[in-house]
Structure 1
Amino acid sequence: MDPHLLRTYVTVARLASFSEAARELGYTQSAVSQHIAALESDLALPLLTRRPVAPTPAGERLLEHAEALLLRLDAARADLDRFAAAPRATLNVAASPLALHARALAALPATGVTLRAVPRERVPVAVATGEADAGLVDGVAAPSDPLRLPDVAPLAATGVAEEPLAVVLPTTHPLAGRTGLRLDDLVDARWLEAPTAGIPLDRLRAVHGEPAGRGFRTALRYEGGDPRTLAALAAAGHGLALLPLPVAKDVPGATAVPLVAPRLVHRTELLLPTGADAEPTGPVAEFTGRLKS
């Protein structure tokens, strides 16, 4: 299966248009059509309907494999490129917003840094494919347990911080006076869904053992990346939020009540490429050294 043809197929399926895919890929529309026809011939299966442009059942199944296949190819190329790469004088860091706590920010070198806030699932991808020299990713885990990261490529993950979690709610909320809260008591509450700025609700359901779509109902969805805005939404009564306690504190109109059960922490991990050729040097070594000290 030719990866060039597979990449063309994924682009056409994503955009639902041969002409838009040609524009994005820099091909002619005729070349895109030829790529799709060649891939369908190779697999002896129709992958796309033409009007409208949409994956067939076989095409849907191929898409389930394609993203992972192309990602591993990109990661392999980036890994090999590091053998010939000259030492870098700059640092490119990809981080999920909640991983940007004070210690991480203080560890950044004074100059030559590009810091990009991205969704947490994109952090391992950015490091694996060479888009970033290092990554900071956060998540919820039991104390001292590593995060469960997608298997995009071999990466070295090191825990650099663990913080308590707190439920953020308005100061007028009936539970605001509690000294601690349990997830068991909050299954039927209305929550803020914030996949980037907060702890995703599907993670709360998984921790609590709730089936997909059950419990922890969404009152409002926030698609921004600022945790303080999420806390302000909770303060305004739009729903509860689960955040690291240091982020949740001192938000006007909000109360941060520590989560006491289950026993979970907010964990931040540093991600780096693996291999002898990937030994940190220059600004990367400076940054990782400060984080790990």
Structure 2
Amino acid sequence: MIHAGSISNTDRVEPHLLRTFVTVAALGSFSAAARQLGYTQSAVSQHIAALEGDLGVALLHRRPVEPTAAGQRLLDHAGPILRRMEAARADIRRAAGEPPGKVVLGGCPLALAGRAARALAEARRSLPGLEVSVRTAARDAVVGGVALGEIDLGLVDGIVAPSDPLRLHDADFLATAPVAEEPVALALPGEHPLATRSSVRLRDLADANWLDAPGIAAPLGELRAAAGTDDLRSALRYEGGDTRTLLSLVAEGHGLLLLPASALAGVQGVRAVPVSAPRLVHRTELVHGRTLGAAVSALAAALTR
């Protein structure tokens, strides 16, 4: 167990105090926070007292343990501050070098399909000792994992205007590179009234029911922005990451989707109709730290070749 020493009035807000405060607020308990952080309960109390003393306000109600109004405001700031510090540590570790031959490749489900699988095989042939772990996650989780050093290379995707970069959060200290762009298509059941159309405009689909699947497809909010309308409404939200399950929901008529055309080729019960307006593409980008070791660099080169 870690015992806190004396804390003077000259101390200022430090990361370990913020981390203690966030943990206590999340768990609603000083003793539970102490167990999770490996401190004594007395140390946790001293950390909170030091933080409150520095800011000059009460941050936590004691019974029950929950944030005050000021504490809630601090929580809004504390998360981004702690994530930025972890990202800085990860960036420094990358600059200092990496264990050879070990790479964690993270990506969105559609970004990992096809090209990524082929590039991974190419990289493993050129580096026979390469050990790779593949992790699937939604876009923000992939970018966050790269920023924190939990993922070496990330493949993320989205729907944008041709040649426009993806809008990525928490990527300030990361590098990005384009991997691929391809046409998008509307996925709808084979018996849908629009299934025989040669093309569709998003604006004409304001009254349609849509599937919202942020872990796989572009979030519905992005489609609203692309279509220039707030009328696209969600009929069903899918929280998973399995593309086949998502397409089976389309085939059964639960809602429409906008996906890369290649993801819809040969899917039973689903018809792909090109989108004529606005002009949109499915874009895949590689995300990584600014310093790359040999193994990560080889895989990155294969993915962007």
Cα offsets for 1:62-102 (capped at 9, x unmatched):
22222221111111111222343355211111212221121
Cα offsets for 1:206-241 (capped at 9, x unmatched):
22344xxx5222211111111222111111111111
Amino acid of the structure 1 residue aligned with 2:43: A
- Partner SS, residue 194 of structure 2: coil
User: What is the match of residue 142 of structure 2?
Assistant: 123
**Displacement of 1:243:** 1.3
Distance 1:216 1:51, change over 3 A: farther
User: What is the match of residue 67 of structure 2?
Assistant: 55
Distance 1:193 1:86, change over 3 A: closer
Contact kept, 8 Å, 1:71 with 1:152, in 2: the verdict is no
Distance 1:33 1:146, change over 3 A: same
Across the aligned residues of Structure 1 and Structure 2, the Cα RMSD in angstroms comes to: 2.0
Distance 1:49 1:100, change over 3 A: same
Amino acid of the structure 2 residue aligned with 1:187: A
Cα offsets for 1:162-182 (capped at 9, x unmatched):
121111111111111111121
**Displacement of 1:55:** 2.8
With structure 1 as the length reference, what TM-score do the two structures score?
Answer: 0.90
Distance 1:52 1:26, change over 3 A: same
**Displacement of 1:161:** 0.6
Query: CA–CA distance in 2 between the matches of 1:216 and 1:14?
Result: 35
**Displacement of 1:200:** 0.8
User: What is the match of residue 228 of structure 1?
Assistant: 244
User: What is the match of residue 8 of structure 1?
Assistant: 20
User: What is the match of residue 34 of structure 1?
Assistant: 46
Counterpart of 1:269 (choices 285, 289, 296) is 285
Query: CA–CA distance in 1 between the matches of 2:23 and 2:293?
Result: 36
Query: CA–CA distance in 1 between the matches of 2:28 and 2:255?
Result: 36
Query: CA–CA distance in 2 between the matches of 1:50 and 1:187?
Result: 50
Q: Which runs of structure 2 are paired with 1:189-204 in the superposition (5 Å)?
A: 189-204=208-223
Distance 1:180 1:23, change over 3 A: farther
Amino acid of the structure 2 residue aligned with 1:235: A
Cα offsets for 1:114-159 (capped at 9, x unmatched):
0111120022221122111111111121111111111443111000
Query: CA–CA distance in 2 between the matches of 1:23 and 1:247?
Result: 47
Distance 1:258 1:43, change over 3 A: same
Counterpart of 2:206 (choices 171, 187, 190) is 187
User: What is the match of residue 289 of structure 1?
Assistant: 301
Q: 108-117 or 137-146: which moved more?
A: 108-117
Q: 27-36 or 177-186: which moved more?
A: 27-36
2:86 aligned with 1:74: yes
**Displacement of 1:265:** 0.8
Query: CA–CA distance in 2 between the matches of 1:167 and 1:51?
Result: 54
User: What is the match of residue 164 of structure 1?
Assistant: 183
Query: CA–CA distance in 2 between the matches of 1:128 and 1:50?
Result: 35
Query: CA–CA distance in 1 between the matches of 2:273 and 2:131?
Result: 39
Q: 261-270 or 83-92: which moved more?
A: 83-92
Query: CA–CA distance in 1 between the matches of 2:48 and 2:247?
Result: 47
With structure 2 as the length reference, what TM-score do the two structures score?
Answer: 0.86
Query: CA–CA distance in 1 between the matches of 2:131 and 2:82?
Result: 30
Structure 1, gaps ≥5 residues long: none
Q: Computing the radius of gyration over CA atoms, which structure comes out larger, 1 or 2?
A: 2
Distance 1:153 1:172, change over 3 A: same
